[in-house]
A and B are shown apart, each in its own frame.
Chain A
C-alpha cells in the first residue's frame, strides 16, 4: 500500500503542473480521523511509515503539549481554537496522467500567477525548456508531490528531501538535529507541531559545498479544517552555503485555518544559510472573517565560528501572524540578520520580529523591520537583542520603520534589549510615518492611479528589505505588496 502511495506521489511529482491549483481544488483526501489524541499521532506516524524512535518522539511531544498553555503575551486577539475540531492529516491522491506537458491548462498557469508563484518557477512547474534552475519541492497540503533537480543536487552531495523521506533515509542526521534548535517544549505551538507534523523539508549541505541552485518550497493549505504542521530542518555543514526560498499561498476558505510550522536552521563553522519567505496566505475578508492563523516558530543556531544566518521575510497574508525568526549566535564572530516587511490590511493582526541571542564573542546582528499598516489592522514589531555576559565585542544594529495608511490602523514597536556585557554596541532606530497626501497627488499627477501610487510608495519604503530577496522573489514580492494593499486607499 505504501509503495503504491509512494509511486503515485512520484508520478505526481513528474507532472506537478497537472494538478488543479485552483482556489477550491477538488482532490480526494485521505484524512486522519478528526480530533487530536495519541491515536491521531500514531496514525500520522504509521501513515509516514516512521521508525519507532520517531513515533516515541512525537508521543513525548504530545504528552508535553497537554500540559502547556497558549501564548498570551503577544499583542494579538486570538479567538479560542478548538483543537479537537480539526483534521491533522490530509493527503492528496494522484490524478490520471496526462499525455504531455503541452496539455497544461492555461487556467492553471493563470492560477499560478494569481498565487504569486514566480514566473521562472511557473516555467519549471510547467516544464518549460531553459527555465532558470530553481529546485522546487512543492508541498501540496501535507505530502511532498514534486521534487525536481534531485539528481544534480545529489551529485553535489546535497540532500533535499521531504522530512518524511529523510526520516527514513537519513535517520541519524535527522535524529541528531531535529528539535536541537527548537526544543519540543519551546512553546505551545512548536510542541503541537512536534507531535503532529505531517511533512516538510529536510536539507543537508555537506562540508565545503555551495549549493548549486536556490532551493524552493511551496506550501499550500488545501483541505478545509486541516491544520498544517510543516517541519523544516536545514543543516549547513562547515564552510557550506545555501539559499532557501519559502513561498506560501492558500485558497480562500471561510473557516479559520491553523498553521503552526517549525523551522530549524543549523549553521556550522563558516557556513551560511539565507532563508527567504514570501507569505501571502488568505488574510480573511474585509470584516475579518476567515483567514489563516499563522503561528510559526523559526529559529537558527549559528553554532560554528564565523557562521551566518540571514532571515528575509515578506509577510502580507494570514489573519493572525505570530512569528519571530531568530538567531542564536553561539559561534565566535557569527552573524545574524533579519530583514522583514510585514503588511497588514483590513482586520489583519501581525505580531512579528526576531530574537538575536548573542553568546559568541564578536558576534554581530542586523535587524531591519518595515511594518506597513492599513485598514483597521494592527502591526507589531517585537524584537529581543540579548547579549550574554561572556559575549565580548558584540554589535547590533536595529532599525524599525512603520508606515501607516489611513487613521484606523495601529503600528507598535516593542524592542527588548538585555545586555550583560559592557563591551556591546547596540543601536536602535525607529520611525513612524504616513503616506502623505503630497506624495499621493504627486504620483497621480504624473499618471499613476491611486493603487499603483500606494504600491510604488510602499515598495520604496520596503526597498532595503526587498533588496535582500533573490531576484525572482523580489519581483513577486513587489507585486504582492501592491495586491495586499488594494482597497486601502479611497
Chain B
C-alpha cells in the first residue's frame, strides 16, 4: 500500500530524513518509535505533503501512485489521513462544518456524490458517541477550548468519518489519560484494523501498543530506520531505551 524508498527530506536547508525505507502492506499496523528529533513528525508531514518540507531524494508510492507528486488535499482524497500531534484550532468554524466540508471535498475529488446533510449527521453522531464526543462538542469550533485529550479524540472522530485507507498517527497517545487512551486505542482498532487498511503509528510508548497491537515495530534514528522487528522490539525498547538499540 505504501512504499517509501531511500527518502531524504529537509526543512529550511536542514536534513531531517536521511535515506528512510519502509514498506507497509494492506491490513498491517506499523509502529514507528524513536528518540526526540529522530524525524518521526517530519515523516508524518512529508507523507501528508506539508509545504516547506522538501524531498531531496527518494520516492514514495501510495497504492501505486507517486505520492510526492500530489498536493496535500489530493493525498487526503486518495485515502491518506494524518493524525496531528497538536491538532489545530480554527476559530469560528464548527467541527461538523469543517468535517463535512472536508469529507465532501474528498468525495468531489474522487468523483463521488456529496454526502447528504442527514447522512452526515448520523455518521458524525455515531462516530462522536463511539469516541465520547457529544454532538454539543462537535458543534463547537474546531479544537477551540478543547483539552489535549479532547483534541486527540476529535482527531479520531474525523478519522472515523473520513474513513481513510492509510492513517499516519503522530503521537496520538500523548496527552491522554488511561481511560482516554483506551477509548482512542479502541477507536483506532475499530476504524483501521481492516484487511484493506493500514496504520503507521508514531509513538514513544508501549502503552498504546498494548491496545493497538502492531504487526511491525521500527526504530527511527537520525532520519532512517535503524532497526525493524515484531511487537517484541517495542517491549525491548521499553526495557532498554533507545540508546542501546539505536547505537
Residues on A close to B: CB < 8 A? Answer: 436-439, 441-450, 452, 456-457, 459-464
Contact = CB atoms under 8 A, between A and B. Distances in A.
Contacts, number: 82
Contact of B88 (A438, A448, A452, A459): A438
Interface size, B (range): 35 or more
A453 to B, nearest CB: 8
A445 B77 contact: no
CB-CB nearest 7 A-B residue pairs: A460-B92, A460-B93, A446-B102, A463-B92, A447-B106, A442-B88, A444-B72
Nearest to B107: A447
Contacts of A463: 92-93
16 contacts: A436-B88, A443-B90, A445-B72, A445-B82, A446-B99, A447-B73, A447-B76, A447-B109, A449-B105, A456-B97, A457-B93, A459-B93, A460-B91, A460-B92, A461-B91, A463-B93
B158 interface: yes
Given A457-B93, A460-B141, A461-B91, A446 B49 contact: no
A90 to B, nearest CB: 42
A462 B75 CA distance: 29
Nearest to B44: A445
Contact of B98 (A437, A441, A446, A464): A446
A460 B103 CA distance: 18
A442 B151 CA distance: 13
A462 B92 CA distance: 8
Interface in B78-94: 81-82, 84, 86-93
A265 B121 CA distance: 43
A463 B141 CA distance: 11
B51 interface: yes
A460 B144 CA distance: 12
A241 B103 CA distance: 42
B76 A460 contact: no
Contacts of A456: 90, 93, 97-98, 101
Nearest to A438: B88
Contacts of B81: 445
A15 B228 CA distance: 75
Contact of A437 (B51, B73, B86, B141): B51
A241 B161 CA distance: 45
A442 B87 contact: yes
B105 A437 contact: no
A443 B50 CA distance: 11
Given A445-B72, A445-B76, A445-B82, A452 B105 contact: yes
Given A441-B51, A448-B105, A449-B105, A457 B90 contact: yes
Contacts of B223: none
Given A445-B76, A460-B92, A462-B92, 4 more contacts: A436-B88, A449-B105, A459-B93, A461-B92
